[in-house]
Structure 1
Amino acid sequence: MDNRSRHSSVVAAGRWIDGTREDGATVLYLQGAWRLPYLHAVTDEIESLPLSPQQPCILDGSRLETLDTATVFVLLIRLVAVGYTRATVSLRRGRSADSSLA
């Protein structure tokens, strides 16, 4: 068993978000095309996430194909609603500057 598997567990796995717990933090792997036509589906998945502000949250964008502001805004609103703050949410592994971010 590798080091990561000993320190991670599945929180939620879906089409838009793959959530795990890694070393005491909730990691949300954002995946696919987060675009306005999919806003309803993305929102439903975000609303079903089992989030706890007692643990830091990491948003990982390494699996994103595209991202627009409307869909990510829904995620940020949800994080704030359950009690996360700027100090408890961090970003990692976003795509390069030439990616399609709307």
Structure 2
Amino acid sequence: MEITQEQKVYAQIVQKAWDDSQFKKDLIANPVGTIEQFTGNKINLPGDQTLVVKDQTDESIVYLNIPRKVNVDELELTDEQLEMVAGGTDVALWTGIGIGLALVSVFREK
């Protein structure tokens, strides 16, 4: 599976936060502004959603993230994704696709 542009940007943001403590502080305090400044692109978040960044770098703490529930009936899948689902791909991948599509919408340019 090919890495999307959104995944590349996410990886760059995480790497920058690991390498630059001030960037990490800014990212936690003002995620939208910091990401927009870093990427040069506006973040398209729906009005009722908030982007929250949590510092999970403390190795003595184990984090469990419970993602929002995705309504799979509202998702629009690509032909490749439909092929994977039709081929008997398990529910975990289906859920991952849904979450991935939801995340992609956050990083799309206006």
TM range (shorter): under 0.3
Query: TM-score scaled to structure 2, two decimals?
Result: 0.24
Q: Which has the higher helix share?
A: 2
Q: Which has the higher strand share?
A: 1
Decide which structure has the larger Cα Rg and report it. 2
**Structure with bigger RCO (C-alpha 8 Å, 6+ apart):** 2
Query: TM-score scaled to structure 1, two decimals?
Result: 0.25
